[in-house]
């Protein structure tokens, strides 16, 4: 077992945990779903599958619309309907900010038979709408559904030249993990690191708008919010889509002292991003830290398809995208 002296983890444990984690494995179906869809040839669509949101030209071509959707797992909704409703908004808002955009409006589909559960979900949605100041402008209900679900679609905007994609990382880029460590694990859903529920709108606006600043200043080569696959899994999606590899020192990933490493790399933070940049990582980290988000350079992008993690002494192969996959979405050669 590859275990660094005095550490609370082994590389073997981390690798096995990430590869088997439901937040990672449930992404495997994405490429199979996409295969059913006809290819589009619309020149107004600048980016789609593999990104946190689709990028669509708006009007004169200087601005773009961002279009995304996310749903909440049924287990999560059943465990804590109120927090599930709240997070349904949060995850969509994060998708827009991750691309340097500003959220404009949302629509939702709610499929719940139990009215008491419905009330709790919608109360959570309402709280998040107020906190993040993004209106819900329409939707659809399934009051006779045999399952419980809430799905939200969101519209955002960003200037064409400021879009942050997750498919544009390049060999030699530095990898920065940025996470709000002022949080707590949700009692009913132990893979949610809640950092937003107890914070006010002003604080959250300052944190999310960091991505707007990074986009405006063109400091990043790529970026993604840390979502359901956890920190290492989310970076894996970025690597896969960019058709590159990486070496990551997991001991440098910002982490609370009271959470074990093998658990932490699987958690879904309320506010968390993984980004890549050239030689300006000091400025990138400073902007995150100024917003009370811990940020550290944790690795670099490499040629090839191997995703390697290290504890500073030994290395282990987490994924080889020549044969492994998370989503199966890869940038085509020449794109």
**3-state SS string for 117-173:** HHHHHHHHHHHHHHHHCCCEEEEEEECCCCCCEEEEEEEEEEEHHHCCCCCCCCCCC
For position 8, what pLDDT does the model report? 76
Angle at the Cα of 58 (from 52 to 61), degrees rounded to 5? Answer: 105
Residue that terminates a domain, selected from 161, 186, 205:
161
Domain ranges, residue 172? 18-29+165-320
11 within a domain of the structure (yes/no): no
267 within a domain of the structure (yes/no): yes
Q: Dump pLDDT digits (tens) for 124-148.
A: 999 999 999 999 999 999 999 999 9
* Residues 198 and 157 placed together within one structural domain of the fold: no
Q: Dump pLDDT digits (tens) for 46-69.
A: 999 999 999 999 987 799 999 999
Percent of the chain with pLDDT over 90: 90
47 within a domain of the structure (yes/no): no
Q: How far apart are CA 114 and CA 106, in angstroms?
A: 24
Residue 111 has pLDDT above 70, yes or no: yes
pLDDT band at 333 (very low <50, low <70, confident <90, very high): low
215 within a domain of the structure (yes/no): yes
Q: Among 64-68, 76-80, 121-125, where is mean pLDDT lowest?
A: 76-80
Domain count, the chain: 2
Q: How far apart are CA 55 and CA 64, in angstroms?
A: 6
* Residues 125 and 212 placed together within one structural domain of the fold: no
* Residues 182 and 275 placed together within one structural domain of the fold: yes
- What's 181's domain CATH number? 3.90.650.10
For position 3, what pLDDT does the model report? 54
* Residues 122 and 212 placed together within one structural domain of the fold: no
197 within a domain of the structure (yes/no): yes
Residue that terminates a domain, selected from 133, 161, 189:
161
10 within a domain of the structure (yes/no): no
- What's 83's domain CATH number? 3.30.1330.10
Tokens representing 77 are 């909704």
328 within a domain of the structure (yes/no): no
Percent of the chain with pLDDT over 70: 97
How far does the chain reach from its first CA to its final CA, in angstroms? 40
Angle between helices 11-20 and 230-242 (to 10 degrees): 70
For position 185, what pLDDT does the model report? 95
* Residues 118 and 249 placed together within one structural domain of the fold: no
Mean pLDDT of 97-107: 99
pLDDT band at 102 (very low <50, low <70, confident <90, very high): very high
* Residues 222 and 206 placed together within one structural domain of the fold: yes
* Residues 82 and 227 placed together within one structural domain of the fold: no
Mean pLDDT over each residue of the chain, to the nearest integer = 95
* Residues 231 and 142 placed together within one structural domain of the fold: no
Q: DSSP assignment, residue 251?
A: G
* Residues 124 and 238 placed together within one structural domain of the fold: no
* Residues 175 and 296 placed together within one structural domain of the fold: yes
118 within a domain of the structure (yes/no): yes
* Residues 82 and 221 placed together within one structural domain of the fold: no
* Residues 170 and 101 placed together within one structural domain of the fold: no
Angle between helices 115-132 and 201-208 (to 10 degrees): 70
Q: Dump pLDDT digits (tens) for 162-175.
A: 999 999 999 999 99
Residue that terminates a domain, selected from 108, 127, 161:
161
């Amino acid at each position: 077992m590859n275990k660094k002296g005095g550490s609370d983890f082994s590389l073997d444990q981390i690798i096995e945990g990430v590869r088997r984690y439901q937040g990672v494995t449930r992404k495997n179906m994405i490429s199979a779903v996409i295969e059913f869809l006809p290819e589009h040839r619309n020149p107004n669509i600048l980016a789609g599958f593999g990104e946190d949101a689709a990028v669509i030209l708006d009007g004169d071509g200087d601005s773009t619309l961002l279009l995304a959707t996310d749903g909440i797992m049924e287990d999560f909704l059943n465990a804590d309907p109120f927090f599930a409703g709240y997070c349904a908004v949060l995850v969509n808002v994060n998708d827009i900010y991750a691309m340097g955009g500003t959220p404009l409006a949302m629509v939702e589909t709610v499929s719940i038979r139990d009215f008491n559960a419905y009330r709790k979900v919608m109360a959570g949605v309402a709280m998040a709408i107020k906190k993040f100041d993004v209106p819900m402008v329409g939707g659809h209900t399934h009051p006779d559904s045999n399952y419980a679900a809430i799905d939200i679609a969101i519209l955002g905007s960003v200037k064409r030249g400021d879009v942050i994609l997750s498919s544009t990382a390049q060999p030699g880029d530095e990898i920065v993990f940025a996470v709000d460590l002022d949080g707590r694990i949700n009692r009913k859903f132990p893979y949610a690191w809640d950092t937003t529920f107890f914070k006010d709108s002003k604080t959250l606006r300052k944190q999310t708008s960091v991505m707007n600043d990074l986009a405006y200043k063109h400091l990043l080569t790529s970026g993604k919010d840390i979502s359901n696959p956890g920190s290492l899994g989310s970076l894996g999606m970025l690597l896969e889509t960019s058709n590159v590899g990486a070496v990551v020192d997991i001991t440098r990933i910002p982490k609370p002292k009271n959470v074990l490493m093998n658990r932490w790399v699987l958690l879904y933070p309320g506010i968390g991003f993984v980004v890549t940049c050239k030689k300006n990582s000091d400025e990138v980290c400073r902007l995150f830290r100024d917003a009370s988000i811990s940020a550290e350079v944790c690795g670099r992008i490499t040629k090839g398809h191997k995703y390697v993690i290290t504890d500073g002494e030994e290395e282990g192969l987490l994924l080889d995208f020549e044969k492994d996959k998370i989503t199966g979405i890869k940038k085509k050669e020449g794109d």
